[in-house]
Amino acid sequence: MGVRMIPQGTNLYAFLEGEIDHHSAVFLRTSIDEALVQSCPRELVLDFSGVTFMDSSGIGLIMGRYRAASAQDCRVRVMNVKERDLRLMKMSGLEKIVEFGVCV
Amino acid sequence: MKKGYNELKMTVDAKSVNESFCRAAVGAFIAQLDPTVEELSDIKTAVSEAVTNCIVHAYAEQDGKIYIQVRITDGVYTEIKIRDTGCGISDIAKARQPLFTTLGGDRSGLGFTVMESFCDVLRVRSKPGQGTTVVIEKRIFGKR
């Protein structure tokens, strides 16, 4: 599991890779939050195209990043989520607070 | 030997690094039923939630053991039992409510909701101070 953080213009992209669970979420959270503070973007884009598995920790990860981003006036967009994981995300009402997109 | 019956038992330490092992091991055992990608992934997700609950809640990130038993009956039914001897749950109905969590932080409070919606049956037995047993049942229709 890993994440590549790429700032581009006023956006900050987080390309997530591998499996997201409670164990891997700790590392992901730290990496994303550090980059968030460093680059102060207008929008944080979480790209899920490389994610091969996620449980509800993935939802917690998005919720937590939404809180961290909001605190510095930054929006959150979630991209390229697989159909099945989207079903999981919608259980939580996430679509009410973050924007979902298909492709950058 | 009972036809269509098969059983797996394993005990692992309640360490977060074992979460991926547990769901992969249960998934590999279930694979003999030739499940669809979706069915396999539903089971792996449910197992991941139950195991995470043991680590995060039952043992509160302290030492402990997680006991996992998987039973296949009639060649199509799976029953997965995940047991701990941790702190237990005093109000199970409340714990099962969507978005309820005692922890905050990045916990979504969706563990039981996910287990329920990805499986056919979810049973939770618990005694405060003694531990919790979660039983997940799911029929595998498979690719046939």
Annotate B100-134 with b (16+ C-beta within 10 A) or e (fewer): ebeeeebbbbbbbbbbbbbbeebebebeeeebbbb
pLDDT at res. B3: 86
Chain B residue with Cα closest to A66: B106
* Residue B92 belongs to some domain of the structure: yes
- Cβ of B16 and A92 within 8 Å? no
**Mean local confidence (pLDDT), B98-117:** 88
Residues of chain A with pLDDT > 70: what percent? 97
- Cβ of B113 and A91 within 8 Å? yes
Residues of chain B with pLDDT > 70: what percent? 99
The reply to whether B54 touches chain A by the CB within 8 Å rule is no
Residue B29 C-alpha, separation from nearest chain A C-alpha, in angstroms: 18
The reply to whether B6 belongs to the active site is no
Chain A residue with Cα closest to B46: A55
Catalytic residue among B49, B79, B83, B125: B49
The reply to whether B41 touches chain A by the CB within 8 Å rule is yes
* Residue B144 belongs to some domain of the structure: no
Q: Which domain holds residue A7?
A: 2-101
pLDDT at res. B144: 67
* Residue B1 belongs to some domain of the structure: no
ipTM given for this complex: 0.92
The reply to whether B49 belongs to the active site is yes
**Mean local confidence (pLDDT), B40-67:** 97
Total domains in the fold of chain B: 1
The reply to whether B19 belongs to the active site is no
pLDDT at res. A104: 46
Are B138 and B28 spatial neighbours (Cβ–Cβ below 8 Å)?
Answer: no
pLDDT at res. A103: 54
Total domains in the fold of chain A: 1
Give the range among A8-22, A74-88, B73-87 with minimum mean pLDDT: A74-88
pLDDT at res. B139: 97
- Cβ of A60 and B17 within 8 Å? no
Are B23 and B58 spatial neighbours (Cβ–Cβ below 8 Å)?
Answer: no
Give the range among A13-17, A89-93, B19-23, B87-91 with minimum mean pLDDT: A89-93
pLDDT at res. B107: 86
CATH number at A55 reads 3.30.750.24
CATH number at B118 reads 3.30.565.10
pLDDT at res. A88: 87
Nearest to A88 among B99, B107, B114 (CB): B114
**Mean local confidence (pLDDT), B13-19:** 98
> Does residue B19 carry a pLDDT above 60?
yes
Band of residue B46 on the pLDDT scale cut at 50, 70, 90:
very high
Q: What are the E-state strand segments in A1-104? A: 2-8, 11-20, 43-54, 75-79, 99-101
Mean model confidence pLDDT for chain B: 95
What CA–CA distance (Å, rounded) separates B34 from B31?
5
